[in-house]
């Protein structure tokens, strides 16, 4: 399990049960994480995902303490209410004000997706799902996927090695 820096305040099972009553099913692995650390900033912060862009996790939301700032679950639920699809709860803030969401419905409880706020619905429209990218089948799988590795794109690394930039070899400027 990754090291969590700046964990949230200690909470009791009742606080987690209250959240579950509000949002839906919370899997045991996520409940255990909340009891152990109550959110916080992971030491390893990158998650590889299907498009290979890599996701940077700023931190996991904490319960029960409104002073957690950007990592307060209360604040997250208020800020993003109605902006992501029903059946999910925000569990982490990512770079660029994006989120990791966990499915809370009985059938898919525990699946984690990346929510890109740039693709969210316009005001007054229902939340979209085409801005969700699957990340992990469970919270434990998410934690195990966290890494401190930089984006591993061999072609990008090769092109950048020893240079100050990359020039498209097919680029042909024209002058009038």
Each residue's pLDDT tens digit, 111-140: 999 998 888 888 888 888 888 888 899 999
The answer to whether 80 and 93 have CB atoms below 8 angstroms apart is: no
Q: Is residue 142 part of a domain?
A: yes
Looking at residue 174, what is its pLDDT? 61
If one counts the domains in the chain, the total is 1
Q: Is residue 22 part of a domain?
A: yes
Q: Is the pLDDT of residue 151 over 60?
A: no
Contact residues for 148 (Cβ-Cβ < 8 A; gap 6+): 43, 44, 45, 46
- What is the pLDDT confidence band of residue 155, given thresholds at 50, 70 and 90? very low
Q: Is residue 175 part of a domain?
A: no
Contact residues for 37 (Cβ-Cβ < 8 A; gap 6+): 4, 7, 8, 60
d(CA 86, CA 101): 11
Q: Is residue 42 part of a domain?
A: yes
- The CA-CA-CA angle for residues 169, 173, 174, to 5°, reads 150
Q: Is residue 172 part of a domain?
A: no
Q: Is residue 173 part of a domain?
A: no
Give me the CATH number covering residue 55.
3.40.1580.10
């Amino acid at each position: 399990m990754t090291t969590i820096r700046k964990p949230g305040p200690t909470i009791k099972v009742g606080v987690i049960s209250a959240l579950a009553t509000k949002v839906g099913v919370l899997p045991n692995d996520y409940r255990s994480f909340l009891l152990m650390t109550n959110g916080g900033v992971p030491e390893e912060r990158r998650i590889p995902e299907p498009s290979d862009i890599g996701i940077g996790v700023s931190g996991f939301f904490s319960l029960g303490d409104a002073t957690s700032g950007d990592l307060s679950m209360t604040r997250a639920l208020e800020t993003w209410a109605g902006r992501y699809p029903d059946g999910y709860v925000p569990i982490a803030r990512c770079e660029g004000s994006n989120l990791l969401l966990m499915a809370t419905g009985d059938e898919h409880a525990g699946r984690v997706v990346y929510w890109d706020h740039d693709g969210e619905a316009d005001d007054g429209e229902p939340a979209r799902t085409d801005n969700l990218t699957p990340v992990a089948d469970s919270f434990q799988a998410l934690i195990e996927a966290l890494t401190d590795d930089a984006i591993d794109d061999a072609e990008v690394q090769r092109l950048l090695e020893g240079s100050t930039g990359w020039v498209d070899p097919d680029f042909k400027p024209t002058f009038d």
